[in-house]
A and B are shown apart, each in its own frame.
Chain A
Amino acid sequence: DVVMTQTPLSLPVTLGQSASISCRSPQSLVHSDGNTYLSWLHQRPGQPPRLLIYKISNRFSGVPDRFTGSGAETDFTLKISRVEAEDVGVYYCMQAALFPHTFGQGTKLEI
């Protein structure tokens, strides 16, 4: 299985500051169709996960441009600019390039 490794696991931030989460895969997530199926999800307590970013850097509908995904192959980053109170929760990277699809352990962002 592709073990997705996120760092840090805990991320205390100050309102208005930036935050960055790293996600690493032991192997390339480039699919045979040429796409890299690496997504970022956000989960608030008591809520299901919601999609933020798909295919490395594409923001899902309604996601603020404060959220930026970047990276390639095995190394990926989610950057949150100007952190707001509503950004608290757990952030997960996930890969859907290889079976079984796998998730990172989650990064808990706290204000």
Chain B
Amino acid sequence: QVQLVESGGGVVQPGRSLRLSCAASGFIFSSYAMNWVRQTPGKGLEWVAIISYDGSNKYYTDSVRGRFTISRDNFRNTLYLQMDSLRVEDSATYYCARRGEGWDYWGQGTLVTVSS
């Protein structure tokens, strides 16, 4: 069965970096575009970034462009989100989500807290 497992979250100070991972299994990872989405109690769900199936195309929401980098390793079946220059407002639960027919599978999420 399709599984997406995020990891890498934690507590980090403003201005520092963190790399999130999303390990995929149960499907042909290299055939699907993948998303990162974050959720905070106050702001709800917010799309962060998407990467095409082969990594050739990437799009970001404005608030993270230039600070976050989405990437993938189709040999390791893993999606990444490199987060640099973190801000307090980046604190959220981060989900990876597969783009199949709709965003059909989601991981359980990993919590990122940016605080001094």
Residues of A near any B CB (own CB < 8 A): 37, 39, 41, 48-51, 53-55, 58, 60-61, 92, 94, 96, 99-103, 105-106
CA gap between A41 and B97 in the complex, in Å: 12
Q: B45 contacts the other chain (Cβ, under 8 Å)?
A: yes
Main secondary structure of the interface of B (DSSP, over half): strand
Among B46, B47, B95, B108, the most chain A Cβ lie within 10 Å of the Cβ of B47
Given contact pairs A99-B59, A101-B50, A54 touches B104 in the complex (Cβ within 8 A):
yes
Residues of B near any A CB (own CB < 8 A): 35, 44-47, 50, 59, 61-62, 95, 99, 101-109
Partner of B95, one of A39, A48, A60, A106: A48
Contact of B45 with A39 in the complex, beta carbons under 8 Å: no
Given contact pairs A48-B95, A54-B101, A55-B101, A103 touches B47 in the complex (Cβ within 8 A):
yes
In the bound complex, residues from chain B placing their C-beta under 8 Å from that of A39 are 102-103
What are 5 A-B contacts with C-beta separation under 8 Å? Answer: A48-B109, A49-B106, A50-B106, A54-B104, A94-B47
In the bound complex, residues from chain B placing their C-beta under 8 Å from that of A51 are 102-106
Contact of A102 with B107 in the complex, beta carbons under 8 Å: no
Contact of B45 with A100 in the complex, beta carbons under 8 Å: no
The distance from the CB of B104 to the nearest CB of chain A, in whole angstroms, is 5
In the bound complex, residues from chain A placing their C-beta under 8 Å from that of B102 are 37, 39, 51, 53-55, 58, 60, 96
CA gap between A96 and B109 in the complex, in Å: 20
The distance from the CB of A16 to the nearest CB of chain B, in whole angstroms, is 28
Given contact pairs A60-B101, A60-B102, A101-B50, A49 touches B45 in the complex (Cβ within 8 A):
yes
Q: A51-B103, A51-B106, A58-B101 are in contact. List 16 more A-B contacts (CB 8 A).
A: A39-B102, A48-B107, A48-B109, A51-B102, A55-B102, A60-B101, A94-B45, A94-B47, A94-B103, A96-B99, A96-B102, A100-B59, A103-B44, A103-B46, A103-B47, A106-B44
